[in-house]
């Protein structure tokens, strides 16, 4: 067995059986080894941003890491933006990055670069295989790091000679961490704080946004008058009819400040204290009032559900929970608008679907109208690095082949990783993509108006408009093997969406808004 | 004036009047300032790999840097692969990367990352603007670094508050380095070495591949019997009919070893000693014989043309130069092959065209048949990070609006940055793209056969074939506003190419080989 075989066996022995890949010459022995392991599902991305974004989406839904395979430093850097998002989502990912043998690095061949330096900012763990005998221990260490709680990005650099040399030795086992139990004293402190007067908010993220945890949170809210809110961006959230409806911290800074105005304490359950997404002249960076107390009930790696349940019990909340009715809004007619799309999605979403949201500006008001949609998982762009939506949808669909995946996708960000559509087609994934085609970087035009005032001049238009030429999303999807259709009026969109929700396999709707 | 205005003025005052951009919210004050400067040409890339690859192509042809504008760490990382290529091409590039204000970094907002850490491996110079009064000096330092000889990538991080705060002060001037004159002693040493017996090779790159330098090199070869060869990958090479025909070091390691077998000394003129692109088990990393002497006549930052002329004079070579005839091969008929494409390109290439080559495997035999093509500049992928071809073509076309740009492009690597086609259309660039559509990672299939032997299994096929589904390049181009046509036979391709060479504006040919 060579090192590449040992690496495959170590991955498989540790429950990693999907590999999102874009290999190169230095990884050929690893490719040959993967070819000898039919138990490993190899999924090609035509660009590494697809590879890492898919690994993120897979991890969020499978609850375990996939492997990625990338080619040296330049391959890795193409995947870094979506690793940034994965890091912010606490997604476990095991990156395998090939490199030259150490004796070849001295020659500074064209593809040579500082892979560790490039990997570190977006990885929780970075390691390099020392030699063939180190392959299995190093891989197990990477997997252990990825599967620490709540999960992180681990990057393992595999020099080509460690892959092609022969060795024996046992296959190493990784350590899988489980969430830490939250100390009773911390729960008690939160309970005591909630007994004091004034306005409190319980802010949720990570495991705090799964159905059971949300029910406990809702019990706490009911018993204590505490407000509930989710972090602005979260890796995964269970929501929809029959589940506790929770809004998120608004992206808009003024609205976020208004949300927390007068709040005297915030209890964090898997969330981080809310901050401005961007800084603005004369505005604060934290969105909490200056004298607001911040109490961490549970960190993202803790057993948040259990902590919330304990807290609910301490508050004496009844176990029964009455959820508010969330009726669906009527379907829209007339011109197609983001609101019309959202109403239709809320109505036609099948039960147990997975919604991948990268709508940026157009989907900001998505939450209210979809509280009554069929139960679904909601996956977001967590780090603000755009281009995760379509790859994440691919990964989620691979993790959950029996569930419909719906990608709500802004046009500007879709153009970061359009190659993901090809993977949707190649793997026959049940992904319905809805392109919110507004033909501009709408979010930036709004920001620029706040900064510059007045109308956009030529240079600003050249940088913020996407209308010359317009992107033809139907042709783009079809060019990569994905069937597609277009709509620019609400009634037509409603019919198209209903039909698309009822079929299986990749499909794209260009929604011209 | 705010810092953003000062930055624009500093760029313009230092001859930087093109900005390849993909901005975000943290760069809005800079966008507003650019909007007030009609002298700056702002060119949007829908993905940062387009931005940096275009800046590379622009620099190679304009001989001076463009600016890029990228959004925080995640924007930068998307551009790093092509900065890696720019670094290997010695292309001057001035990256402006926005960041949060320092007082906001402490909040670790979602988009926060270690920008310096990410920039360093692919940049020759990294700096951060300290405050608004530092904007102009820091920008001038970045430009000076970029314009050191032979040129490098400089990355300047611009915190948002340095952009929005107000200041006065003078606009700083950058220092533009010129190539260093090579010491007479070094030239003498090279001349003496060439007088000794045995086989010598003069290896050229950088400024050594421009027309005048090549003529001197050819005189040296004629007078001394020295062989001429170009580095395998070079930023820019002047070639074609009436110019000195020089081959490159082969990519294939065995062929490269054969090229240098028996060579006793290599004189480097802007080139680096040749090494294997990848390491292989049991094969050497250097392609030179063990006892081969390496003499550096001139480094890439030196005045190579002048050094070569001096050396030619020392060898007593006559000034007149007789170039070998390089007749064109007849056009092909039958099935379309890479060879048929190359013959047609050689025949129909207009004078003074710019050829951007990212053919990977399909264009390996490009050089011989095109020695007799009309004079042209030849730009290559210099760092092995694929996805530079289409962006580089955009940058070259912007630098040289009166010259035809022809992008010879492998399909696999084209899928790394297909968004560049949109920029071709938006800027009405005179770029003709020829997609070598072989529907596979051919180079990797060859490599895998050497490693694994035998037929590819399912996993290897899933990672190295692009045929399920096939990419429809005509639809893909049209979806981004580029007219396109397809051919799969040589006669049809010849006609199509001739017609396409005769029109202006962006066009794409899907050549099914």
The tens digit of pLDDT for each residue in A119-134 reads: 999 999 999 999 999 9
Contact B365, B408 (CB under 8 A): no
Q: How far is B50 from chain A (nearest CA, A)?
A: 10
Give the whole-angstrom CA distance, residue A264 versus residue B344.
75
Note the pLDDT tens digit of each residue in B182-202.
999 999 999 999 999 899 999
Q: Does A106 touch chain B (CB under 8 A)?
A: yes
Q: How far is A313 from chain B (nearest CA, A)?
A: 33
- CB spacing of A469 vs B462 below 8 angstroms: no
Note the pLDDT tens digit of each residue in B23-36.
999 999 999 999 99
Residues of A in contact with B464 (CB under 8 A): 23, 31
What pLDDT score was predicted for residue A347?
98
Question: Which DSSP helix (H) or strand (E) runs through B469?
Answer: none
Nearest CB to A118; choose among B121, B277, B382: B121
B73 → chain A, closest CA residue:
A81
Q: Does A495 touch chain B (CB under 8 A)?
A: no
DSSP conformational letter for B411: H
What pLDDT score was predicted for residue B328?
96
Q: Is the predicted ipTM greater than 0.95, yes or no?
A: yes
Residue B449 CB contacts under 8 Å (≥ 6 apart), including other chains: none
Residues of B in contact with A475 (CB under 8 A): 475-476, 478-479
Residues of A in contact with B457 (CB under 8 A): 35-36, 38
Mean pLDDT, residues B236-242 taken together: 97
Q: How far is A422 from chain B (nearest CA, A)?
A: 7
- Place B280 in a pLDDT band, splitting at 50, 70 and 90: very high
Mean pLDDT, residues A326-348 taken together: 97
What pLDDT score was predicted for residue B363?
79
SS3 call for B314: helix
Give the whole-angstrom CA distance, residue B505 versus residue B38.
24
Note the pLDDT tens digit of each residue in A143-185.
999 999 999 999 999 999 999 999 988 999 999 999 999 999 9
Q: Which fold has domain B338-512?
A: Rossmann fold (3.40.50)
Give the whole-angstrom CA distance, residue B512 versus residue B435.
8
Contact B481, A470 (CB under 8 A): yes
B454 by Cβ neighbours in 10 Å (0-12 / 13-18 / 19+) ranks as exposed
Give the whole-angstrom CA distance, residue A275 versus residue A262.
16
Nearest CB to B110; choose among A103, A384, A456: A384
> Which one of A20, A30, A39, A74 makes the best mutation probe of the B interface by having the most chain B beta carbons within 10 Å?
A74
Q: Does A383 touch chain B (CB under 8 A)?
A: yes
A89 → chain B, closest CA residue:
B110
Average pLDDT, chain B: 96
Give the whole-angstrom CA distance, residue B19 versus residue B16.
8
How large a percentage of chain A has pLDDT more than 70? 100
Mean pLDDT, residues A467-495 taken together: 97
Note the pLDDT tens digit of each residue in B320-368.
998 988 999 999 999 999 999 999 999 999 999 999 999 988 778 899 9
Contact B91, B235 (CB under 8 A): yes
What pLDDT score was predicted for residue A453?
64
User: Using CA atoms in the order A139, A140, A141, A142, what is the torsion angle rounded to 10 degrees?
Assistant: 50
pTM above 0.80, yes or no: yes
What pLDDT score was predicted for residue A455?
82
Alpha-carbon distances, residue A123 vs A116, A151, B113 (angstroms):
10, 11, 11
B39 by Cβ neighbours in 10 Å (0-12 / 13-18 / 19+) ranks as exposed
Q: Does A24 touch chain B (CB under 8 A)?
A: yes
B320 by Cβ neighbours in 10 Å (0-12 / 13-18 / 19+) ranks as exposed
Contact A286, B104 (CB under 8 A): no
What pLDDT score was predicted for residue B449?
86
Neighbours of A95 (CB within 10 A): 34
- CB spacing of B109 vs A276 below 8 angstroms: yes
What is chain A's Cα-based Rg? 24
**pLDDT at residue B453 is higher than 70:** no
Contact B117, A120 (CB under 8 A): yes
For residue B289, which of B264, B271, B254 has the smallest C-alpha distance?
Answer: B264
The side-by-side arrangement of strands in the sheet containing B431-437 is B237-239, B376-380, B353-358, B405-410, B431-437, B507-512, B483-487
Instruction: Take residue B331 and report the two structure tokens written for it.
Output: 């056009």
Residues of A in contact with B81 (CB under 8 A): 74, 77-78
- CB spacing of A444 vs B28 below 8 angstroms: yes
Residue with tokens 């306005």: A199
Chain B 260-289, residues with CB within 8 Å of chain A CB atoms: 272, 275-279, 281, 285-286
Residue B197 CB contacts under 8 Å (≥ 6 apart), including other chains: none
Q: Does A443 touch chain B (CB under 8 A)?
A: yes
Contact B87, B122 (CB under 8 A): yes
Instruction: Take residue A65 and report the two structure tokens written for it.
Output: 């890491």
Domain with CATH 3.40.50.970 in chain A: 3-164, 338-512
Chain A 149-168, residues with CB within 8 Å of chain B CB atoms: 160-161, 164
Domain with CATH 3.40.50.1220 in chain B: 184-314
Q: Which fold has domain B184-314?
A: Rossmann fold (3.40.50)
A101 → chain B, closest CA residue:
B279
The verdict on whether omega for the bond into residue A343 sits within 30 degrees of 0, i.e. cis, is no
Question: Which class in CATH covers the domain with range B3-164?
Answer: alpha beta
Q: Does A189 touch chain B (CB under 8 A)?
A: no
For residue B494, which of B283, B358, B336 has the smallest C-alpha distance?
Answer: B336
Note the pLDDT tens digit of each residue in A422-472.
999 999 999 999 999 999 999 899 899 888 767 889 999 999 999 999 999
Residues of B in contact with A35 (CB under 8 A): 452, 456-460
Give the whole-angstrom CA distance, residue A177 versus residue A144.
8
Nearest CB to B384; choose among A81, A111, A473: A111
Residues of B in contact with A117 (CB under 8 A): 117, 120-121
Contact A148, A177 (CB under 8 A): yes
CA A98 to chain centre: 25
A26 → chain B, closest CA residue:
B278
Mean pLDDT, residues A399-427 taken together: 98
Average pLDDT, chain A: 96
Instruction: Give the number of beta-carbon pairs within 8 Å between A and B.
Output: 307
SS3 helix, strand, coil % of chain A, rounded to 5? 40, 20, 40
| DSSP state string for A413-452 | HHTTSTTHHHHHHHTT--EEEEEEE-SB-HHHHHHHHHHH
B131 by Cβ neighbours in 10 Å (0-12 / 13-18 / 19+) ranks as middle
In this structure, what are the phi and psi dihedrals at residue B63, rounded to the nearest 5 degrees?
70, 15
For residue B484, which of B428, B434, B419 has the smallest C-alpha distance?
Answer: B434
Note the pLDDT tens digit of each residue in B406-452.
999 999 999 999 999 999 999 999 999 999 999 999 989 988 988 87
**pLDDT at residue B293 is higher than 70:** yes
């Amino acid at each position: 067995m060579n090192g590449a075989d040992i690496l495959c066996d170590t991955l498989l022995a540790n429950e990693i059986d999907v590999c999102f890949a874009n290999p190169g010459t230095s990884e050929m022995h690893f490719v040959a080894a993967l070819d000898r392991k039919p138990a490993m599902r190899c999924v090609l991305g035509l660009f590494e941003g697809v590879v890492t974004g898919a690994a993120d989406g897979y991890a969020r839904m499978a609850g375990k890491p996939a492997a990625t395979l990338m080619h040296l430093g330049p391959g890795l850097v193409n995947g870094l933006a979506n690793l940034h998002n994965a890091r912010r989502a606490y997604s476990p990912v095991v990156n395998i990055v090939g490199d030259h043998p150490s004796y070849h690095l001295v020659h500074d061949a064209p593809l040579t670069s500082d892979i560790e330096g490039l990997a570190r900012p977006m990885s929780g763990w970075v390691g390099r295989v020392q030699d063939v005998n180190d392959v299995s221990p190093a891989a197990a260490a990477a997997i252990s790091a990825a599967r620490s709680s709540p999960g992180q990005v681990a990057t393992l650099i595999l020099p080509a000679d460690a892959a092609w040399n022969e060795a024996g030795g046992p296959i190493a086992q990784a350590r899988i961490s489980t969430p830490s139990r939250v100390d009773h004293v911390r729960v008690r402190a939160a309970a005591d704080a909630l007994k004091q007067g004034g306005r409190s908010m319980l802010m949720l993220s990570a495991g705090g946004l799964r159905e059971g945890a949300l029910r406990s949170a809702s019990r706490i809210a009911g018993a204590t008058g505490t407000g509930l809110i989710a972090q602005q961006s979260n890796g995964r959230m269970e929501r929809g009819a029959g589940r506790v409806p929770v809004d998120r911290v608004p992206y808009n800074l003024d609205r976020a400040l208004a949300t927390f105005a007068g709040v005297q304490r915030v209890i964090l359950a898997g969330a981080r204290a809310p901050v401005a997404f961007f800084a603005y002249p004369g505005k604060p960076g934290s969105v909490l009032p200056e004298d607001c107390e911040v109490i961490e009930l549970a960190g993202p790696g803790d057993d948040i559900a259990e902590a919330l349940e304990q807290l609910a019990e301490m508050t004496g909340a009844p176990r029964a929970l009455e959820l508010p009715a969330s009726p669906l809004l009527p379907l829209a007619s007339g011109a197609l608008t983001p609101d019309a799309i959202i109403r239709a999605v809320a109505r036609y979403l099948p039960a147990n679907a997975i919604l991948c949201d990268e709508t940026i500006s157009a989907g900001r008001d998505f939450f209210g109208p979809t509280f009554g949609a069929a139960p679904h998982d909601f996956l977001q762009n967590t780090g603000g690095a755009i281009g995760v939506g379509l790859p994440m949808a691919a990964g989620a669909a691979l993790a959950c082949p029996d569930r419909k995946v719906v990608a709500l996708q802004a046009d500007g960000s879709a153009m970061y990783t359009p190659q993901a559509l090809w993977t949707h087609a190649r793997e026959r994934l049940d992904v319905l993509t809805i392109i919110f085609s507004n033909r501009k970087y709408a979010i930036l035009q709004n920001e620029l108006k706040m900064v510059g005032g007045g109308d956009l001049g030529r240079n600003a238009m050249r940088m913020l408009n996407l209308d010359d030429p317009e992107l033809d999303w139907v042709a783009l999807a079809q060019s990569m093997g994905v069937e597609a259709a277009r709509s620019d009026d609400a009634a037509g969109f409603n019919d198209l969406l209903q039909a698309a929700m009822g079929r299986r396999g990749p499909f794209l709707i260009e929604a011209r808004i």
